[in-house]
Amino acid sequence: MAGPKADQKKSVLEESLTFNYSLPGSPIGTLNIPADALPTEVVLIEYDPQQASCHLLATPAEALPYLEPEGVAWVDVRGLGTESTLRQLAQVFNLHPLVLEDVVNVPHRPKVEFYDDQLLLILHMARPADQGYHFLTEQVSFVLRPQVLLTFQEESLWDCFDPIRDRIRRDLGDMRKQGVAFLAYTLIDNIVDGFFPILEAYGEYIALLEDEVVTAPTHHTLTKIHELRRGLLVLRRSIWPQRAVINTLIRDGGDWIPPEVRIYLQDCYDHMVQILDILETYREISSSLTDVYLSSVSNRMNEVMKLLTVISTIFIPLTFIAGVYGMNFNPESSPLNMPELNWAWGYPFCLGGMAAIAIVLVIFFWRQGWFQNFAAPSSTLKP
């Protein structure tokens, strides 16, 4: 959370709060396939320094003739909806029952597991959504075997591996001269780099949200802040364990990760640390936005109260004058009972005096600076 199915998926927060699990007492290797999982298709890319080819396999057994000891075979499994195909893959490549169970029961926490003849690596791949800072996540599982790499993706509609496929097809760089561990590294590196565009979108949105919080905060602004914090929390839950996974590969990769590949993985680890630093900074800013919002609302309330106070202060003497002349004393009974009521210009004189008092007060308050900051510029942040 590009295709029709991606648009219908749950939000990132909803996905992070739901998971598949086996019922108590279920046998080892029980597969809990989501109801909306896409049908499984298997694509084989095999290459060596001289050539490369791509094959769409009807059955997993068709991969056996292409497994050469001198080359590398990348078995790309897209979609987890066909249980029969998945079990055939497990038989052809001798996958451990726990491996297939972890691959299919998504979403799974990122992790790395070492078996006798295979290595399991589970990561989360993210990409920006169509609008704003929102993003979609997908679990990607790696199974390393000698000269064979199997990747399992939830969807077949999108991934970030096309540049790697193009490098293999066009023989760019040293891809064809490297082994299966280097292929796994390049895929991991693409997954890690895919988080940077998401963080960039978050940074732009946070800058706009800061302006809105200061200049024109509303109740909708507070909702945006909470949505931002939830999104950053889910993103952190995807990224944080992946740092530990990459670190484990560097330290404990053994024969699966040669020393020359560990150097590249160290660079990948550094990128992950950089991503986490940026993410933590954004989380701190988003947490402080709530305090800024409350302060901005309080300041705006103070401005409103100051304006009302100014208006009330201007009308106090006017109300006093109007009240005095509203007492209706009879001037004929006593020369002290409002002789102004009989003046020819009494009414215009009273109104003029009231206007003069109001003007004098307005000028006085304006010189004191009381009329500043009553109008705030409107926000440019789109919902």
Q: How many Å from the N-terminal Cα to the C-terminal Cα in the chain?
A: 19
CATH of the domain at 50: 3.30.460.20
Q: What is the pLDDT of residues 250-301, one digit of tens each?
A: 998 888 899 999 999 999 999 999 999 999 999 999 888 888 888 777 777 7
What's the average model confidence in pLDDT over 178-184? Answer: 91
> Is 112 inside any structural domain?
yes
Q: At residue 183, what is the residue type?
A: L
What's the average model confidence in pLDDT over 164-179? Answer: 87
> Is 279 inside any structural domain?
no
> Is 16 inside any structural domain?
yes
> Is 380 inside any structural domain?
no
Q: pTM above 0.85?
A: no
> Is 98 inside any structural domain?
yes
Residues 6+ away with beta carbon under 8 Å from 249? 112, 121, 257, 262, 265
The pLDDT score that the predictor gives to residue 378 is 43
Mean pLDDT of the chain: 82
- With tokens 């790395």, the residue in question is 112
What's the average model confidence in pLDDT over 113-137? Answer: 84
The pLDDT score that the predictor gives to residue 9 is 45
Q: What is the pLDDT of residues 67-83, one digit of tens each?
A: 877 789 999 999 888 88
Q: Show the domain range for 168.
A: 1-178
Number of domains in the chain: 1
The pLDDT score that the predictor gives to residue 382 is 43
Confidence grade of residue 376 (pLDDT, cut at 50, 70, 90):
very low
Specify burial of residue 73 (Cβ count, 10 A radius: 0-12, 13-18, 19+). buried
> Is 325 inside any structural domain?
no
Specify burial of residue 202 (Cβ count, 10 A radius: 0-12, 13-18, 19+). buried
> Is 349 inside any structural domain?
no
Q: How many percent of the chain have pLDDT more than 70?
A: 87
| Structure-model confidence comparison of residues 115 and 5, the more confident one | 115
Q: Which of 40-54, 66-80, 296-310, 364-378 has the lowest mean pLDDT?
A: 364-378
What's the average model confidence in pLDDT over 188-205? Answer: 91
341 vs 87: CA distance, rounded Å: 105
| Helix, strand, coil distribution of the chain in percent, nearest 5 | 55, 15, 30
200 vs 218: CA distance, rounded Å: 25
> Is 78 inside any structural domain?
yes
